[in-house]
Amino acid sequence: AQTVTQSQPEMSVQEAETVTLSCTYDTSESDYYLFWYKQPPSRQMILVIRQEAYKQQNATENRFSVNFQKAAKSFSLKISDSQLGDAAMYFCAYRSALYGGSQGNLIFGKGTKLSVKP
Partner 1 sequence: DSGVTQTPKHLITATGQRVTLRCSPRSGDLSVYWYQQSLDQGLQFLIQYYNGEERAKGNILERFSAQQFPDLHSELNLSSLELGDSALYFCASSPRGFTTEAFFGQGTRLTVV
List residues near partner 1 by CB under 8 A. Answer: 33, 42-47, 50, 52, 91, 95, 100-111
Contact (CB, 8 A) for 79 and 66: no
Report the alpha-carbon distance of residue 42 to residue 61 in Å, rounded.
Answer: 22
**Complete DSSP assignment for 30-83:** SSEEEEEEEE-TT---EEEEEEETT--SPPEETTEEEEEETTTTEEEEEE-S--
By beta-carbon proximity to partner 1, the closer residue of 51 and 82 is 51
Minimum distance from CB of 15 to partner 1 (Å)? 27
Q: What is the CA radius of gyration of the chain?
A: 14
- Least distance to partner 1 from the beta carbon of 91, Å? 7
User: In the complex with partner 1, which residue's Cβ is closer, 82 or 111?
Assistant: 111
What's the CA gap between 115 and 112, in Å, rounded?
10
- Output 32 or 82, the one with its CB closest to partner 1: 32
Minimum distance between the CB of residue 7 and partner 1, rounded to whole angstroms?
14
Q: How far is the CB of 11 from partner 1 (least distance, A)?
A: 17
Q: By C-beta, is 33 or 64 nearer to partner 1?
A: 33
